[in-house]
A and B are shown apart, each in its own frame.
Chain A
Amino acid sequence: MIRVELIKLAGRPRTWVAIGLLCLLPAVVAVFLATTRISPPPGQGAAFLSAVLQSGSLYPAAALALVLPIFLPVAVAVVAGDAVAGESSQGTLRYLLVRPVRRTALLGAKLVAIVVFVVVAVLSVAGTSYVVGVSLFGAGDPVAVVRALPEVTGGDDAVAGAGPAGGQQPASAGGQVGGSDASQSGAQPGADTGDSTAVADDQAARERAQSSVSSLSGEALGPADLAARLLGAMGYVVVSMLGVAAIALFLSTVTASSLGATLGALAALITSQVLVSLDAASSVTPYLPTRYWLAWVDFFRDPIFLRDITSGLWLQAGYVVVLMLAAWANFTTKDVTS
């Protein structure tokens, strides 16, 4: 069932248009920044925007900051709001149910598909913005960043995948192959000198990379450290979207109109955003879905500040549990009349 939902999602042009637009915004901003070199004044504008002028390898973080407040939640609300209501208004819901697909299973598969969508969207944003950032602003050394990645990630995520495209140092890349071979399969006859220069290059590249990016606390970030923090931030952003997804999915089981569900979820988010910034509402603030959205920035503090991140994870989990239960209770007892 999950596979079927993913095929349906992937088969819709809308899905890819949404992801494309998400990737486009940071790219547009990057082009303007790179051509004008006018960064927003400190403390204003999106996080990290002024820092990327020094090193493009931080650009994925800036890109997340750009898409997080509006674009990403809108995309999630559109997809999640359409999940059940869309099938319902299309009439395909009744045919799914008489296959039979159990209503609970359908709801679960929908949620999983939405999560996959968010993951793909966030990875695409991070990946494309890394390429854009590094090619427009340069980095200490992207090759070193990529080389350091396997230590943390296994090397198959979007950041790693995007890295080589940004790498523009053929000499160093050639050395990389020799170096990694040697370390895996022992000695390579006659390649000793080559290896040592590769290692030296590697070291120098790492230092260069290190001297370009700092955490919010001023700590220099090595490529591996930066990659780990970026991954943490991306993961947190994905989780932050779960609350929106759950709200939209619940509304999607209530109404037969996808637009209604999407707008309802967005209205809830805007209300939440307004209340979060209102001192008078401080008694409800900790329970608002957007309260800890910005906590992903805390991954870039030193030491990493986990308090809000943990609260945010619990809060999103709470929203998912309550709203999915509500969605389940509503959907399984509902007459399907469309």
Chain B
Amino acid sequence: MSTRETQRIDARPPSSGLVIETRGVTKRFGSHVAVDDVDLHVAEGARYGFLGPNGSGKTTMVRMLLGLVYATRGEITVLGATVPNRVADVLPEIGAMVEGPAAYPHLSGRTNLALLDASGPRRGRDGRRRQRVEEVLERVGLAAVDRRPVRTYSLGMRQRLGLAGALLNRPRLLVLDEPTNGLDPHGIREVRDLLIELNAAGTTVFLSSHLLAEIEALCTTVGVVDRGRLVLEDALDAVRGPTGRLVVRTPDPDGAARLLGRAVAERHDHTLVVDAAPGGPSALARHLVEHGVPLDGLAEQRRSLEDVVVALTGPGSDTARAREARA
């Protein structure tokens, strides 16, 4: 109950430009509340990172957005359609990957995609279908796959195949749940580049992950979920704003500390964190140099996403819950 209020700073896009909007969405499985009163706002054209530890309700939320799981309470609007009633109208414009890829193991990747494509609403002729399938295979780097059944694929290949399936529709909105699971660093980079490219072409990307670094590297907006609640939703730049302190690196930390006195907030080896003085970094630099303290570096301190998340969520929710259970 401690973080009831979602921390919001500003920059909420006007509601007309939202591709995903939820109000008070709650999902209960029996007595367990998986998602609790979540308001999401995903702007058109954004790269939205939905961040939370494992078991925090991310996947349930993603399933609710796609109409797979029905919300116990609350309203969901995706691409202007209410979910789940009218979700079928907009699903053709959504590409999705939910909780890992899945395919018919005895069929080849190409056949899987063709079947998936054929089972959707009718679009275009069969000739174009083959072309579409080749196109997406190319995009995810699977153009060279042969007739091997999916059963023989590595996890990374399956992940790429799943991504290919999500791209089949040329979606306006991509909803991806942990899309880089099982990929090597090279693959992760490729996927990230692909998503940025698609986003540049106008696709809104909604990406859920438990990996901070991934979100930080890719997203423009971040929503943080903890134990079913949304604890933060903001533009990434705003989250990582300056703290008003300066970070000083010097070979003579003692001299600097003596000189700056009470302004030093923290000290680790050769690094001091200093409350900003009037005049900003340049004034401080001059002050130190003039008093004979050599400088290796001086920068504004910025919050890291990690700091923010840890501050908001406390210990990992799995351990927290385990502790609760024990108590």
Q: Does a CB–CB distance below 8 Å link A and B in the complex?
A: yes
A92 to B102, Cβ gap below 8 A? yes
Most chain B Cβ neighbours within 10 Å, of A7, A13, A98, A102: A98
Give CA–CA (A13, B94) in the complex, Å: 33
A92 to B107, Cβ gap below 8 A? no
Binds A, one of B66-74, B199-207, B234-242: B66-74
Most chain B Cβ neighbours within 10 Å, of A7, A91, A99, A337: A99
- In the complex, the chain A residue whose C-beta lies closest to that of B66 is A98
Distance in angstroms from A74 CB to nearest chain B CB is 21
Interface string of A63-106 (1 = CB under 8 A from B): 00000000000000000000000000011101111111110000
The reply on B53 being an interface residue by CB < 8 A is: no
A97 to B106, Cβ gap below 8 A? no
The reply on A44 being an interface residue by CB < 8 A is: no
A98 to B70, Cβ gap below 8 A? no
Among candidates B96, B100, B101, B118, residue contacting A98 with C-beta atoms closer than 8 Å = B96
B116 to A91, Cβ gap below 8 A? no
Q: Which residues of A contact B88 (CB under 8 A)?
A: 100, 102
Give CA–CA (A90, B120) in the complex, Å: 19
Give CA–CA (A13, B106) in the complex, Å: 9
B63 to A337, Cβ gap below 8 A? yes
Known: A4-B119, A98-B96, A100-B121. A335 touches B102 (CB 8 A): no
Q: Which residues of B contact A283 (CB under 8 A)?
A: none
The reply on A274 being an interface residue by CB < 8 A is: no
Interface string of B92-111 (1 = CB under 8 A from A): 10101011111111110001
Q: Which residues of B contact A90 (CB under 8 A)?
A: 102, 104-105
Among candidates B69, B87, B118, residue contacting A3 with C-beta atoms closer than 8 Å = B118
Interface string of B78-90 (1 = CB under 8 A from A): 0000000001100
The reply on B115 being an interface residue by CB < 8 A is: yes
Give CA–CA (A4, B67) in the complex, Å: 22
Apart from A99-B92, A99-B120, what are 18 other A-B pairs with CB-CB below 8 Å? A4-B115, A7-B115, A11-B104, A90-B105, A94-B66, A95-B98, A95-B165, A97-B66, A98-B67, A98-B68, A99-B91, A100-B67, A100-B91, A100-B121, A101-B120, A333-B70, A336-B68, A337-B69
A selection of 27 A-B contacts at a CB cut-off of 8 Å is: A1-B119, A3-B118, A4-B115, A4-B118, A8-B107, A11-B106, A11-B107, A13-B106, A91-B102, A92-B102, A92-B104, A94-B99, A94-B102, A95-B98, A96-B119, A98-B66, A98-B68, A98-B94, A98-B98, A99-B91, A99-B116, A99-B120, A100-B91, A102-B88, A336-B63, A336-B68, A337-B60
Residues of B within 8 A of A (CB): 60, 63, 66-70, 87-88, 91-92, 94, 96, 98-107, 111, 115-116, 118-121, 165
